[in-house]
Amino acid sequence: MSRWKLALIIVAVLLIALLGWRLSRHGAPSPGAAGMRGGGADAPVPVTVVAVESADVAVYLNALGTVQGLNTVTVNAQVAGQLKAIHFEEGEEIAEGSLIAEIDPRTFQATLDQALARQAQDQAQLSASRSTLKRYEDLIQQHFVSAQDLENQRQAVRQQEAMVAADAAAVANARTQLGYTRITAPITGIAGIRQIDAGNLISASGAGIVTLTQVHPISVIFTLPQQDLEAVRRAGGGELPVTALDRGDSHALAEGVLKVVDNSIDPQTGTFRLKAEFANEDTRLWPGQFVNVRLQTRVVQGGLVIPVQAVQRGPDSSYVYKVGDDDTVTVQPVRTGEEAEGGRVVVTEGLAVGDRIVTEGQFRLKPGARVLPLAPGESAPATADATDAQAPAAARH
């Protein structure tokens, strides 16, 4: 073999040895590096962990309700005639007794004047008949009149007294009819859209002038399933606290009390109706509005509460992932009760105060897995793999 071929073989062997050494140094990460990069089987799983708390928990029943005016009245005429004037503005709040409209009163005034004149005439006749009766009673003692004439005069006085009484009733009726020409508000309420304009003929059988709706206070009608009836009855029925919330359940619109529980269950829907009353001083509730209703039935003293998202559903029962002192998780069966405010649920069995449970990240867990406990809102620390992924490709090479 020539000398140059031998030199070429030696150079090739050295290059292969150098390449193998570089690959063995950079291609096989150490066990510690593997753990830092998250590729090891024992790498902890980052999860959100909270402790079980003890608190006084208000128990609520939730429903969808409809706002209704406490009283709604369609204002109509009680006598027929020409509508002379309108004295309200649409959409304004009208106080009870305020003048709403006027009907031409001339015909009714004439009827009242006739009744007063007839009453005066009959009263004059009655006065004359009473004077005659008095003379007859004096003359009967002297035998100047007969007993029959005296009795006839007494009957005439009685008839005229009845006529005067009828005249008084006719005057009162005519005065009442005249008073109906001034139409006033029967309740305090918000005026709706006017149904008729001034100058039109109006009657008691018409569609009405305007509708008044009382909104201070105001009512909310809602329904609950029949299985909740016992809870409402145990709580005392009426005067339970009720909150009206917007459709997103994010803002409370008004606070009120339960006033009425309906006296029957609808057999078609299996629900019963309830009526709550709200002061509505700021007029945030409006008739016809849909609201979410939250009825407080009782308060659980010292109840154990956890976030509702911590509870998982299994084939046999509900469970949570409980974190031990060594930061490993175990499956803990639990029994839950009523839902509480703030997305929490009452735990009646399976946990104690201070137990740590997983609320986020359960899908990556299995019994015995090691976890990295994080507080709510806290982010997991960046791993070496994430740092390498963010570095430029040229720098990695």
pLDDT one-digit tens code per residue, 16-63: 877 776 766 555 444 444 444 444 556 888 999 999 988 888 888 889
Question: Would you place residue 388 in the very low, low, confident or very high pLDDT band (cuts 50, 70, 90)?
Answer: very low
pLDDT in tens, 339-364: 777 778 888 888 999 999 999 988 88
Least Cα distance to 93 among 77, 69, 68 occurs for: 69
Question: Would you place residue 384 in the very low, low, confident or very high pLDDT band (cuts 50, 70, 90)?
Answer: very low
Q: Which parts of 225-355 fold into alpha helices (H)?
A: 229-234
CB 85 within 8 A of CB 102: yes
Q: Which parts of the chain fold into alpha helices (H)?
A: 3-26, 31-37, 106-139, 147-179, 229-234, 384-390, 393-396
- CATH code of 45-57+301-377, in short, is 2.40.420.20
Least Cα distance to 177 among 210, 204, 208 occurs for: 204
CA distance 387 to 391: 7
Average pLDDT over residues 241-270: 92
- As a whole number, the mean pLDDT across the chain is 85
Question: Would you place residue 65 in the very low, low, confident or very high pLDDT band (cuts 50, 70, 90)?
Answer: very high
389: pLDDT strictly greater than 60? no
Determine the topology of domain 105-180 in CATH. Answer: Helix Hairpins (1.10.287)
335: pLDDT strictly greater than 70? yes
Q: Identify the pLDDT of residue 112.
A: 95
Domain boundaries in the chain?
45-57+301-377, 105-180
CA distance 220 to 65: 6
88 beta partners: none
Question: Would you place residue 98 in the very low, low, confident or very high pLDDT band (cuts 50, 70, 90)?
Answer: very high
Q: Identify the pLDDT of residue 36.
A: 41
Query: Could you give the strand order of the β-sheet that contains 81-86, starting from the edge strand earlier in sequence?
Result: 182-184, 99-103, 81-86, 201-202
CB 115 within 8 A of CB 169: no
166 beta partners: none
387: pLDDT strictly greater than 50? no
Quote the pTM value. 0.65
CA distance 274 to 265: 11
- Cis peptide leading into residue 217 (ω within 30°): yes
Question: Would you place residue 338 in the very low, low, confident or very high pLDDT band (cuts 50, 70, 90)?
Answer: confident
Average pLDDT over residues 246-265: 91
Q: Identify the pLDDT of residue 66.
A: 96
82: pLDDT strictly greater than 90? yes
Question: Would you place residue 386 in the very low, low, confident or very high pLDDT band (cuts 50, 70, 90)?
Answer: very low
- Classified as helix, coil or strand, 249 is coil
Same fold, 45-57+301-377 and 105-180: no
Q: Identify the pLDDT of residue 385.
A: 47
pLDDT in tens, 66-81: 999 999 999 999 999 9
CA distance 161 to 122: 8
